[in-house]
Every structure is written in C-alpha cells, then in structure tokens.
Amino acid sequence: MRRLTVVLLALAVAGCFTIARTGYDAATDERSLDTQRADTRITLAIKKALLGSSVKGTGGLDVFCRNGVVVLAGVVEGGSRAGTEAGTLAGRAEGVKRVETYFLPAQPSKLDDFTIKRKINAKLVRDGDLKAGQVDMAVIAGHVVLVGIVDRPEKIDKIIAHARATDGVVVVKSFIQITGR
C-alpha cells in the first residue's frame, strides 16, 4: 500500500509539472509540442517503473528525456544493481531511442547540491541569450548533469561555462542536444 501511495504521489507531482510546462517553458522549448508530450510520457513511464522496482535505489534517480534520449542520473551505491536495473527499465519504455547514465556512489550534502543548482539556474535566467527551461539539471556531489535542447552550439558552451563558473562545481557533464540533430 505504501509503495502504491508513493507511485501515485510521484505521478501527481509529475502531472503538475506537465501542466505547468504548458506555459512559458512549453512555448519556448526547441521541441515541438508533440515531441514534448512524447518525452513527458516516456519520463512518466520510466519514473513509474523505477518506483515500482523491487531493486533498492532505483526510485530516487532523476529521469530526463529529450527527443527520446533518456538520461538517468543520481546515486547508485557500489555493488548495487540499481544502475543496471534502471537502465534496463528505461530501455524498455516505448519511444526510447537511447539511454545515457551518470551515477555516483554517494551524495554527501543534498543542501550543498541544491545551492549549486539554484546558483546555476540564476545564472542561466540572467543570461539574455538563454531561455528558462532550455536545460534541466541534476547536481550530485558537485557533479552537474545538464540535459536539454538548444538551437546553436554556442548556447551549449555558454550553459556549460555558467555551470563551471559556479562555486562548488566539481564536474560538468552535458547531454544537451542541438535542434534537428
């Protein structure tokens, strides 16, 4: 019963996210609305599968999807099957073209990572050449994982530069795609 409650709560939160994306973010996204909907369906299907998995550690992973390319990021303890299971479950979701992963064995301070993410987001919002919502990110132990779609390679360089210039960032891993590629 508890697991069902968690799954329903996660889907409700994801549903609220989907509704919120119908505004500014959806309108400024480089993907078509059909592609955005398809990516959202893929993301929700994977999150549901991860939450429903009997393998410990899959439910806390971040899931991002752009143009059918899925990025899984988060903490997978050494010796755990969570990373393998998450990749397998993600690969089974309808519409997935490829699955990329970025896992670390621990996250010493979620507060520090939250602060880093907030600072990077503030830099991206202040940059007049970038649009809010072009990039999603996960921050784990100072490792920044960027996922998004932009229309020019120069924007990828700017986003990465903003992230690298943020105090506390150890590594920046980009899964940002360019429109039409």
Domains of the chain: 2-104 (no CATH), 110-178 (3.30.1340.30)
What residues of the chain score a pLDDT lower than 50? Answer: 4, 7-8, 11, 17-21
* pLDDT for 23: 63
Q: Is the separation of the CB atoms in 95 and 68 below 8 Å?
A: yes
How far apart, in whole angstroms, are the C-alpha atoms of residue 120 and residue 123? 5
Q: Is the separation of the CB atoms in 36 and 30 below 8 Å?
A: no
Q: Where are the alpha helices (DSSP H) in the chain?
A: 2-20, 24-28, 33-52, 82-92, 110-126, 153-164
pTM of structure: 0.85
* pLDDT for 111: 98
Tokens for 4, please give them. 């069902």
Tell how strand 171-178 and strand 143-150 pair up.
parallel
